[in-house]
Amino acid sequence: MRLTREQRQILNGSKGEVMAKVMKTLVMYGHTFGADRLVPVSSEYNHLLTSFGLKMMTPIFELMEKLAEAGALSTQAFSVNPRPMDKAVPANLLQRLVFKYLMYSEQENYEKRLTELGLLNDKAYTCTCYLDQVGNLPQRGEILSWAEPSAVSYANSVLGARCNRNSGMMDLMGAVAGFVPRFGLLTDEGRMANWIVKVRTTEQPEAQLLGAAIAMRVKEEVPYIAGMKRWLGTELTEAVRSYLKDFGAAADSSVALYHVEELTPEAKDFGADLIKENCKVYVIDDKELERVRRSYPVLWRRKNRKPNLCFVGCPHLSMQQLKQWTLRLECGLQEERRKRVRIPTVFTAAPAVIEEFSRTEYAKRLKDTGVILSYVCPLMYMNNPLCGSLRVITNSNKLRGYSTARYYPEEELLDMLTKGEIEE
């Protein structure tokens, strides 16, 4: 890797031993992935993945302490992933004790540390940091040092910023040094598509199911998605951005950049020039989506029992989605001549989105349906053995993939919430 004079000096200790180690970490990281040089991080804000004060993460907390002591602080303020706990979310006494005293016993200390290190504000806990209400919105072409996969996917694909799939803590290293290694999605070549995905469904595909199908097939490569114009149009409206947010999160286990024909910024500018020669083709029709859905294992012990809980909002919901879900629930409940949902239900969104939503007429209407609004990360909530025995339903492919939650498309989920019966 070619380093500038300044970078070499930092590596040799001109800014102290700790900064030299940070630089060495980035150089080794870049070396592993064939980077040619380190380039400046150019976004206004950073976003950190690690938001949870999990007791077993002591080495990470110690590392952060060392950085703070040495004054090796990020010059960028940052947002961070959602909190793992919220009293508003239903939990029994045992769960609450385990969360507070065993699992996330370091939460308070950790949040203090994040504030010292440059957290944007105390509402900046969300994976949807790029929403207007949160305000961490990178511009096209900016270089980022982020790690949260769903946010990386959105920033690359919908905003046209440039970011690799970094790991947690590597995001902080890049922000502290102000440089990231240039390879993969930071280069023009790395942003070219090696797959064409042809969508030929007879109705708009469920965003999270489509994302999951594409991720399973293209693995870590870049897809160019054609055939979505009839469903999404050619403008990145608020509804379309919400759709792509969910689509990208469902695919984020492997896909960190996708192009949608005539819609996403690079596809609009370069069209088919973005597609590499001899690329592979994947056709998605109704049958294929059904096949993918049927391949999801059901991990509940008692598969036909009524669910205990429903989570909607992984990734966090946008304002448009909160309003839309409120209207759909009201309609569904009216049809059933009921007032409140039949399954305990939690919608999750960024604290800043919740704050703005609470000032609209929709807030009371959603509350009247019995739905709880929370800023929690559903996955962090479920990531323990106690929740493994719960029967949780969700429309999130990501939550399904990393927990025992059971996936349902939105229409079916809505039916279950209003009727209280399990869909087979």
Contact residues for ligand F3S (CB under 6 A)? 81-82, 127, 150, 249, 314-316, 377-379, 398
For residue 389, the tally of other CB atoms under 10 A from its CB is 11
Nearest CB to ligand F3S, comparing residues 79 and 95: 79
One-character DSSP codes across 233-275: -SS--HHHHHHHHHHHHHHTTT-S--EETTTSHHHHHHGGGGE
Nearest CB to ligand F3S, comparing residues 79 and 150: 150
C-alpha to C-alpha distance for 77 and 258, rounded to whole angstroms: 28
SS3 80: strand
Q: Do residues 115 and 78 touch, judged by C-beta distance below 8 A?
A: no
Handedness of CA 195, 286, 260, 353 (dihedral sign): negative
Nearest CB to ligand F3S, comparing residues 201 and 394: 394
CB of 416 to ligand F3S, least distance (A): 20
CB of 122 to ligand F3S, least distance (A): 17
CB of 255 to ligand F3S, least distance (A): 14
CB of 369 to ligand F3S, least distance (A): 21
Q: Do residues 157 and 248 touch, judged by C-beta distance below 8 A?
A: yes
Block residue for tokens 């305990």: 344
For residue 420, the tally of other CB atoms under 10 A from its CB is 14
CB of 362 to ligand F3S, least distance (A): 21
Nearest CB to ligand F3S, comparing residues 251 and 274: 251
CB of 402 to ligand F3S, least distance (A): 7
- Joined together, the tokens standing for residue 361 give 């007429």
Nearest CB to ligand F3S, comparing residues 29 and 311: 311
Nearest CB to ligand F3S, comparing residues 316 and 406: 316
